[in-house]
Structure formats: C-alpha cells, structure tokens
C-alpha cells in the first residue's frame, strides 16, 4: 500500500514515511519525523521535532506531538519523542520530547490509549497498554508502568513513579510514588488499597491476589514497628511470590519521591 497524503497537508520532503501511512487533511509533518508503517494522522495533526511514531498508531485531530517541552531549562538540544506501536492518540493530546536533564528522550510504549486532552511531558517513560483518560496529565520525568490507568483530570507530579497495573482515580493529584497494583484516590491522593478490579481483568489467579492482599495488609497496616522492618518481614513471609516481589523491588528502587501511603485513621 502506498503513502496517502491529503493535498491540504504540509509534509516536509525529508520526513520518513513507512508503507501505508495515511495523512489526512490539514496536517503538518516536520523534517525529522519518522512515521512507521500504517500510521494514520486523521486530520489537523502536527508532528514536529525528532519524533518517531511506531506502526499502526492512529492520531486524531489537533494532537500536537514533538514540539519543544514546556521546560525553561530546555535550550534546543536535539532530544527525541519516541512513540510505540498501535497507540490511539485522541484529540488535543500533547506529547513533548526529552531534555538534557532527563536523558534526552520521552518514550511511550505500545498499545496505549491517550484520551482527549491528556499530556505526556518531557522525559516521561510510559509503558505498554497504558490508559490516560481525558485531561490526565503527567509532569516531567514521570515513569508509568505497563497496564497503569490514570483517571480523568488526574495529575502526576514530576519525577513520580506509577507502578504497573496501578489505578489512579479521576481528579487525583499524585505527589508520591504509587506501588504496582495500587489503587489511588483523593484530591491530594492517598493509597486506597489494591487495584482488585484490574487484577481480575488481567487474569491473575485467586491465589496470587490472595497473597498480594495479605502482603499489602502486613506492609501498610498501622503497627508499632517501622516500615523498614515490615518490608523485611513481608520479604521473608512471601518469598517466591512474583507479584509481591514486584512491589518490594519497586519500593527498594532509588527514587527522588516518597512512597505514597494510605491515609491514617482519625486524622493521624
């Protein structure tokens, strides 16, 4: 299948276009853009900068991909925006390239859904099968694990890590790291438990979920001992359980943000 470009669109001759690319009306594609096979820009899409879009991705009207990041430290360095395969990028979505202070690349995985008005800022690393609902916003340097879901109007502070399979409730402001499989709710978000609905939908076994729930309770239940001691206790008690091990590894990884905790009872 040959490339199809609507006559109203402006596509730089240096842009690299894969087989079967379709560029609809009133799009703009810059010289350093690489569109993979069967990428489709429906209409009124702008793709600029050093931007690569993987095969089968569909981009809807008024999305802006690859323009300079909203970071005053950015000085025009040749950073990149890399978008994976088979993503759906809906209307008015914005994604920015990286900066020198963040590794020079913003990277989005495969099979994601980025709903109307969602934003991926500079130097973010977004995994596979991620969903950003309407107007969900990632600050700079955010990491989002596979299968995470961010509800509408949620906002994630810069440098925060969102673990795989986590669920962020709508209108939540997330300032601290969210464990894998965590459920987050609240204007100033707190950990509200595990994403049990997501675990069921992803096909985890009852035994896996049962072990995860028990480990979560042991780790986050109020107690007289320290969090570090509870961490070691969970590590011993649930050795060999993959889901628990993922949470423990996430907690132990180096991070510039604190770990999001449950809300304490009685206002404590």
Predicted local confidence at residue 191, as pLDDT: 97
Return per-residue pLDDT of the chain as tens, 268 residues.
799 999 999 999 999 999 999 999 999 999 999 999 999 999 999 999 999 999 999 999 999 999 999 999 999 999 999 999 999 999 999 999 999 999 999 999 999 999 999 999 999 999 999 999 999 999 999 999 999 999 999 999 999 999 999 999 999 999 999 999 999 999 999 999 999 999 999 999 999 999 999 999 999 987 678 999 999 999 999 999 999 999 999 999 999 999 999 986 544 3
CB 44 within 8 A of CB 27: yes
Catalytic annotation, pick one of 56, 140, 169, 182: 140
122 is catalytic: yes
The class of domain 200-267 in CATH terms is mainly alpha
Predicted local confidence at residue 265, as pLDDT: 55
* Right CATH for 4-141 from 2.160.10.10, 3.40.50.2300, 1.10.1740.10, 1.10.10.10: 2.160.10.10
CB 82 within 8 A of CB 108: yes
Question: What backbone torsions phi and psi does residue 75 show, to the nearest 5 degrees?
Answer: -120, 25
Predicted local confidence at residue 5, as pLDDT: 98
102 is catalytic: no
Q: How far is the C-alpha of 210 from the C-alpha of 42, rounded, in Å?
A: 45
- Residues 81-135: pLDDT tens digits? 999 999 999 999 999 999 999 999 999 999 999 999 999 999 999 999 999 999 9
123 is catalytic: yes
Distances (CA, A) of 80 to 16, 48, 66, 90, 102: 15, 10, 8, 21, 11
Which residues, including other chains, have CB under 8 Å from residue 266's CB and lie 6 or more apart? none
Predicted local confidence at residue 221, as pLDDT: 81
Catalytic annotation, pick one of 71, 123, 128, 146: 123
Q: In the chain, what are the domain boundaries?
A: 4-141, 200-267
Q: What is the torsion angle, in degrees rounded to the nearest 10, for the CA atoms of residue 57, residue 63, residue 67 and residue 73?
A: -110
Q: HEC profile for the chain? A: CCCEECCCCEECCCCEECCCCEECCCCEECCCCEECCCCEECCCCEECCEEEECCCCEECCCCEECCCCCCCCCCCCCCEEEECCCCEECCCCEECCCCHHHCCEEEECCCCEECCCCEECCCCEECCCCEECCCCEECCCCEECCCCEECCCCEECCCCEECCCCEECCCCEECCEECCCEEEECCECEEEEECHHHHHHCCCCHHHHHHHHHHHHHHHCCCCCCHHHHHHHHHHHCCCCHHHHHHHHHHHCCCCCCECCECCHHHC
* Count of CB atoms situated within 10 Å of the CB of 69: 22
Q: How far is the C-alpha of 182 from the C-alpha of 235, rounded, in Å?
A: 18
Catalytic annotation, pick one of 111, 119, 122, 141: 122
């Amino acid at each position: 299948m040959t490339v199809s470009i609507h006559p109203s669109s402006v596509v730089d001759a240096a842009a690299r276009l894969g087989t079967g690319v379709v560029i609809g009306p009133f799009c703009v594609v810059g010289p350093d853009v690489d569109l993979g096979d069967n990428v489709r820009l429906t209409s009124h899409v702008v793709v600029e900068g050093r931007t690569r879009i993987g095969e089968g991705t569909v981009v809807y009207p008024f999305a802006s991909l690859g323009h300079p990041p909203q970071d005053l430290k950015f000085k025009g360095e040749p950073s990149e925006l890399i978008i994976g395969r088979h993503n759906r990028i809906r209307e008015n979505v914005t994604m920015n390239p990286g900066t020198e202070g963040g590794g020079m690349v913003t990277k989005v995985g495969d099979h994601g859904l980025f709903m109307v008005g969602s934003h991926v800022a500079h130097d973010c690393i977004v995994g596979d099968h991620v969903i950003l609902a309407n107007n969900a916003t990632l600050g700079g340097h955010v990491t989002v694990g596979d299968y995470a879901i961010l509800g509408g109007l949620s906002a994630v502070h810069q440098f925060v890590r969102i673990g795989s399979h986590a669920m962020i409730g709508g209108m939540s402001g997330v300032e601290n790291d969210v464990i894998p499989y965590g459920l987050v709710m609240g204007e100033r978000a707190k950990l509200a438990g595990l994403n049990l609905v997501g675990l069921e939908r992803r096909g985890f076994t009852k035994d896996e979920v049962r072990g995860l729930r028990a480990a979560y309770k042991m780790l986050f239940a109020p107690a007289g001992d320290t969090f570090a001691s509870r961490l070691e206790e969970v590590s011993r008690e649930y050795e060999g359980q993959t889901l628990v091990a993922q949470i423990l590894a996430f907690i132990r990884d180096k991070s510039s943000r604190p770990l999001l905790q449950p809300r304490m009872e009685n206002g404590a």
